[in-house]
Amino acid sequence: MTSRQLFLVVFIEGFCSLGAEVLALRQLIPHVGSSIVVTAPTIGLFLLALALGYASGGRIAGGYVAVVARNFLVSGFLAAVGLAGNTVDAVFAHVQPVPLAYLVFVGGVLCPIAWLLGQTVPALTNLMRHERAGEKAGFALYWSTLGSFLSAVSLSLLVMQWLGVSAAVVLVAGLLFVGVLVLSGARPRMLAWVAAGSAALLFANQRLWVVGETAYATYAVEPVALDWAKDAQAFKVNNSISSLIDASEPPHYAGYIRRMRRILLEELAYDGRDILVLGAGGFTLSHDEPKNRYTYVDIDPAIRGLAERHFLKSGANGEFIADDARRFVRETERRFDAVVVDVYTARMSIPSHLVTREFWQASKRALQPDGVMLANLILDGRLATPYARNLLATIESVYGRCGVELLHRGEPASNVVVVCHNGELSAPAGIYTDERNRADADAILVD
């Protein structure tokens, strides 16, 4: 092999190994979210497998090109099928509990790819023509790391954003098959294997039910059968129902949307007000609602166009801003009469930076002095888990006492609508006892 061919193969290894990691993290979002407790172990296991691959590659004693070609071929098949969205969905649908499904995916797909590709640089360094071993290793690591850098940038900022996640899988697996051909030439047997891998790649990545894929989410629109709805359609974000609308006149919406609309339009009698909605979903909060002015903030620039074309079948009512919710409320100079927080990346997963006290303080900053904050949370039906108790306590540490309404009592998971009013925090609560009972005096002092 020529030096250019060797460095091209090492570049492909760097591009595809990190590309596999980026794709694995993206494909995990709909199922386990994107918090640090998911990303950090995933990165750690990937690096461990890569390190073991380096060690294995250093022990290869001969047939370097043939070994690396075989590794590229197996990695190409693993990436083509194992990183496909349909495969990941199937793993999490059929393997329970969720942590076990996570280990099956990471241990069965991502780590083998990292281990196999990690053998590339130690093996091919033996074929590089340089006077010093350090010079060989330096050039090999340069091209591998350059490939990793370009992979991280191009897949996340270009390919996933403009072409979708499946296109990124096709690119990574396709480059591995190109590497096989560079390493093995046009041998009929390898050509046949590459052809089979390419067919598997195209078949496994047919996401026919998807209306859109971006770096942030996978979107779909599906019919749902509901007793109270007529020809209902669900707007799904990361495999979870985000919004509902049916063919009734006027349309019916998801239960928590109906409840929030009733609070804003009937109980608070909002008319001509400015309402900020963090997390666009299907834009149903403002659908057919001409009384107020709505501003939607969502991190995915593509969500409005997808919702309008495939779900609403009309223009969304309101202004749309593509931005991170926390950054927007922290930096905006606008003040709103209501802030609606509906920020889910999957059914049970709020981005972790949007549950902290600092986020709720920023949301309060964006309110008018007499404004109201409404949040849609999905918690256990008894509000008994540490997550439910801690999240509600965090919100009330900023807003004071809030209204908390469970919409599906008795369910394992329930939509919980939290309503908080802007204003000064009240004094710490006391406890009434038989010995010291101020209840009558306190009741007299109520405004």
For residues 362 and 423, the model is more confident at 362
* Burial degree of 228 (CB within 10 A; 0-12, 13-18, 19+): exposed
Spatial separation of the C-alpha atoms in residues 341 and 91, rounded to whole Å? 31
pLDDT of residue 174: 97
pLDDT of residue 45: 98
- The three-state secondary structure class of 186 is coil
pLDDT of residue 210: 84
pLDDT digits (tens, 9 = 90+) for 92-138: 999 999 999 999 999 999 999 999 999 999 999 888 766 567 777 88
Residue 85 has pLDDT above 70, yes or no: yes
Residue 209 has pLDDT above 90, yes or no: no
pLDDT digits (tens, 9 = 90+) for 89-104: 999 999 999 999 999 9
Across residues 250-265, what is the average pLDDT?
95
249: its two tokens: 């006149």
- Cis amide prior to 97 (ω within 30 degrees): yes
DSSP 445: T
396: its two tokens: 């009330």
Least confident of 26-40, 191-205, 261-275, 330-344: 26-40
H or E segment at 73?
Answer: helix 64-77
pLDDT of residue 280: 93
> What's the angle, vertex CA 384, arms to CA 380 and CA 387, rounded to 5?
70
pLDDT of residue 240: 86
For residues 50 and 162, the model is more confident at 50
Among 244, 326, 315, residue whose Cα is nearest residue 279: 326
pLDDT digits (tens, 9 = 90+) for 376-387: 999 998 999 999
pLDDT of residue 113: 98
How sure is the predictor about 317, in pLDDT bands with cuts at 50, 70 and 90? very high
pLDDT of residue 196: 97
pLDDT of residue 102: 96
Report the percentage of the chain scoring pLDDT > 70: 98
For residues 40 and 437, the model is more confident at 40
pLDDT digits (tens, 9 = 90+) for 324-365: 999 999 999 999 999 999 998 765 578 888 999 999 999 999
pLDDT of residue 355: 93
- The three-state secondary structure class of 165 is helix
pLDDT of residue 446: 53
pLDDT of residue 264: 97
* Mean pLDDT over the full length of the chain: 92
* Burial degree of 265 (CB within 10 A; 0-12, 13-18, 19+): middle
CA atoms within 13 A on the CB side of 160: 25
User: Residue 196: how many CB atoms within 10 A of its CB?
Assistant: 14
Domains and CATH numbers, the chain: 3-208 (1.20.1250), 218-421 (3.40.50.150)
> What's the angle, vertex CA 87, arms to CA 81 and CA 88, rounded to 5?
120
pLDDT of residue 344: 82
pTM assigned to the model: 0.84
pLDDT of residue 32: 86
pLDDT of residue 348: 59
pLDDT of residue 130: 60
Residue 447 has pLDDT above 60, yes or no: no
- Cis amide prior to 250 (ω within 30 degrees): yes
Name residue 108's amino acid: G
End-to-end CA distance of the chain: 86
